[in-house]
Amino acid sequence: MSTPAVKQQAHEKKRLLSGMQPTGPGALHLGNLEGALRTWVRLQDEYEMYCFIADWHSLTTRYQDTAAIGPACREVAADYIAAGLDPNKCAIFLQSHVKEHAELQLLLGMITPVGWLERVPTYKEKRDLLQERGEGDESVSYGLLGYPVLQAADILVYRAHSVPVGRDQAAHLEMSRELARRFNRLYGDTFPEPQALIMEDTGVIPGIDGRKMSKSYGNAIYIRDDADTVARKVKEAFTTPSKMRKSDPGVPEKCAVCQLRKLYDPTGYSASWEEDRQGLRGCMQNKAELTEILNDMLNPMRVRRAELLADPAELDRILTHGAEKARETAEATMAIVRKAMHF
Ligand code: AMP
Ligand code: TRP
């Protein structure tokens, strides 16, 4: 059962939406770049794209520290654009600038069984972490439990068809689909079921300690790091533990430097891996070469993000323009939603 008002027109581009939280200082690292941003950049030509910054979501864990959220959002926005998202092709905006996300979140909240939310793995992890840290029951907020409802609203308010995200978001996407189905059953066909477009072609990007690169592990190389910072981090990076001298054989599969080399030097890495295995090259050489490769890759992005951050009025203009475009689509959806619910 599909009302003509909500059908997708054949000539329309498919709609894609994705976003990231401005966690910590905001700035994005190579894991975010390779695991998410590059895919978004590739998709923006083909699809009607919405890329936002989930600033309200970041309140679920940092409601005590709201002054830092604004600057963190600017960092993320600058990284999005420096990585190649084009504000003329894709709407780049802050969640909190489009109030329709909040209205839909409220309405979806009314039809969301609490039991569904209590079973979400990310909720259970965060709750247990807060309790382990002895922060007590009062640190587990209604907003934290409702995280997936807000995420569903983010997606459904654009009636997005696909959502390019990492595998870690699969459970959240499933919740968005369930809520779309439940809404459609209760009030008539309104939302397409959003498909997760799981981006796993790049795999997990290792940090300098060999674990998954992550803001919370202190092992990340950031897009904003300057050339000396990159050099220092690469120097500290873990290599084959049993390789003490240049002539000891390396195991590139177990070396963070070799893994990053493979990623950023897909045509040249194999010769360096072979020499490493045969004990013909040392870790210092590997590190010096990787530093150069990373700095060459990052340099244009650093320049662009520095320009953007030096001109807050320009960044504001981009975000305002993105929010206007987003609001237009979100408002059209909300008109359909209010009508379906007889408001
Ligand atoms: P997060 O910084 O955890 O909020 O991640 C935002 C998105 O970046 C995730 O959904 C992933 O798609 C991607 N991402 C983060 N860290 C990595 C990593 N180490 N390797 C690959 N992708 C990553
Ligand atoms: N939960 C996502 C993350 O942590 C961020 C996010 C919020 C999101 N709303 C979204 C991602 C909607 C895609 C679509 O990475």
Ranges of each domain in the chain: 4-205+312-340, 227-303
Q: What ligand is nearest to the CA atom of residue 168?
A: 1
The pair of three-digit structure tokens given for residue 77, joined into one six-digit string? 């926005």
Residues 6+ positions from 180 with CB-CB distance below 8 Å: 152, 156, 191, 192, 193, 194
Domains 4-205+312-340 and 227-303 share a fold: no
Measured between alpha carbons, how far is 38 from 61 in angstroms, rounded to an integer? 27
Quickly state the pLDDT bin for 303 (edges 50, 70, 90): very high
List C-alpha distances in Å: 98 to 106, 135, 161: 14, 32, 19
Measured between alpha carbons, how far is 8 from 313 in angstroms, rounded to an integer? 36
Residue type, 274: E
Measured between alpha carbons, how far is 90 from 41 in angstroms, rounded to an integer? 9
Give residue 206's Cα distance to chain centre.
Answer: 16
Expressed in angstroms and rounded, the spacing between residue 118 Cα and the centre of ligand 1 is 24
Kindly report the backbone phi and psi dihedral angles of residue 163, in degrees, each rounded to the nearest multiple of 5, phi listed first: -135, 105
198 three-class SS:
strand
CATH superfamily of 227-303: Tyrosyl-Transfer RNA Synthetase (1.10.240.10)
Q: So what's the pLDDT on residue 138?
A: 82
- Dihedral sign for Cα 188, 190, 192, 196, please: negative
Strand (E) or helix (H) holding 93: strand 90-94
Which residues does ligand 1 sit against, CB inside 6 Å? 20-21, 31-32, 34-36, 165-166, 168-169, 199, 204-205, 212-215
Quickly state the pLDDT bin for 11 (edges 50, 70, 90): low
Q: Is 210 left (phi over 0), alpha (psi -120 to 50) or beta?
A: left
Mutation choice for ligand 1 from 21, 32, 34, 52, CB with most ligand atoms inside 8 A? 32
From the number of C-beta atoms within 10 Å of its C-beta (0-12, 13-18, 19+), residue 202 rates as middle
Instruction: Look up the CATH architecture of domain 4-205+312-340.
Output: 3-Layer(aba) Sandwich (3.40)
Atom of ligand 2 nearest to the CA of 160: 14
Q: So what's the pLDDT on residue 270?
A: 97
Q: So what's the pLDDT on residue 168?
A: 86
200 has pLDDT over 80:
no
Expressed in angstroms and rounded, the spacing between residue 165 Cα and the centre of ligand 2 is 8
4 has pLDDT over 50:
no
List C-alpha distances in Å: 240 to 172, 264, 280: 37, 19, 14
Residue of 141, 171, 151 lying closest to 52 (CA atoms):
151
The mean pLDDT of 311-326, rounded to a whole number, is 97
Residues 6+ positions from 304 with CB-CB distance below 8 Å: 78, 81, 82
> Are 235 and 284 within 8 A, CB to CB?
no
Q: Is 215 an active-site residue?
A: yes
Quickly state the pLDDT bin for 193 (edges 50, 70, 90): very high
- Is there an atom of ligand 2 within 6 Å of 20 CB? yes
The pair of three-digit structure tokens given for residue 4, joined into one six-digit string? 């003509």
Q: What is the mean pLDDT of the chain?
A: 93
Quickly state the pLDDT bin for 7 (edges 50, 70, 90): low
Q: What ligand is nearest to the CA atom of residue 39?
A: 1
The mean pLDDT of 146-167, rounded to a whole number, is 96
The pair of three-digit structure tokens given for residue 168, joined into one six-digit string? 């870690």
29 three-class SS:
strand
Q: So what's the pLDDT on residue 134?
A: 81
Catalytic residue among 89, 99, 212, 339: 212
- Is there an atom of ligand 2 within 6 Å of 176 CB? no
334 has pLDDT over 50:
yes
Q: Is 212 an active-site residue?
A: yes
Q: Is 84 left (phi over 0), alpha (psi -120 to 50) or beta?
A: left
The secondary structure of residue 35, as a DSSP letter, is I
For 264, what's the count of Cα atoms within 13 Å in the CB-facing half-sphere?
23
The pair of three-digit structure tokens given for residue 145, joined into one six-digit string? 């439990």
Quickly state the pLDDT bin for 212 (edges 50, 70, 90): very high
Kindly report the backbone phi and psi dihedral angles of residue 92, in degrees, each rounded to the nearest multiple of 5, phi listed first: -115, 120
pLDDT in tens, 253-272: 999 999 999 999 999 999 99
The mean pLDDT of 15-33, rounded to a whole number, is 93
The mean pLDDT of 279-301, rounded to a whole number, is 97
Percent of the chain at pLDDT exceeding 90:
85
Measured between alpha carbons, how far is 298 from 33 in angstroms, rounded to an integer? 11
CB count within 10 Å of CB 117 equals 18
